[in-house]
Amino acid sequence: GQQLNQSPQSMFIQEGEDVSMNCTSSSIFNTWLWYKQDPGEGPVLLIALYKAGELTSNGRLTAQFGITRKDSFLNISASIPSDVGIYFCAGLRIHNNAGNMLTFGGGTRLMVKP
């Protein structure tokens, strides 16, 4: 099946630092979605990207849909403690007769440096 490679798997942040994570695939996607999941909760949609090259911001978050349609990155600027959590990328392929299938990356766990 399709594979989404998300990196890094985990990272420590210090408050105020910028954070970057990305997803790559061997397959082309029509849409990229970025989610954040807090413990005990479902993933929350942060940003949706629909066109190759598209750059979209949501507050301190910025995400881009790669030109090749096989990758996407998410940046968080000036991180704050509540940014801690697990971030997932998800790629969507549209199948006209069989519905839309979303494939998830393995997640990037953001933690605060002690």
User: At closest approach, how far in Å is the CB of 38 from other proteins?
Assistant: 10
Contact 86, 106 (CB under 8 A): no
Q: Which is nearer to other proteins, 22 or 31 (CB)?
A: 31
Residue from 3, 8, 12, 44 touching other proteins (CB under 8 A): that is 44
Distance CA 12, CA 113 (A): 5
Q: Which is nearer to other proteins, 68 or 100 (CB)?
A: 100
Contact 37, 49 (CB under 8 A): no
Contact 80, 14 (CB under 8 A): no
User: 39 CB contacts (<8 Å, ≥6 apart)?
Assistant: 85
User: At closest approach, how far in Å is the CB of 84 from other proteins?
Assistant: 16
Sole window of 13-21, 38-46, 52-60, 68-76 interacting with other proteins (rule: CB under 8 A)? 38-46
| Amino acid in position 77 | S
Interface of this chain with other proteins, residues 67 to 106, rule: CB under 8 A: 88, 90, 92, 94, 98-102, 104-106
Distance CA 95, CA 21 (A): 28
Q: Which residues bind other proteins (CB under 8 A)?
A: 4, 6, 30-31, 33, 35, 40-45, 48, 50, 88, 90, 92, 94, 98-102, 104-107
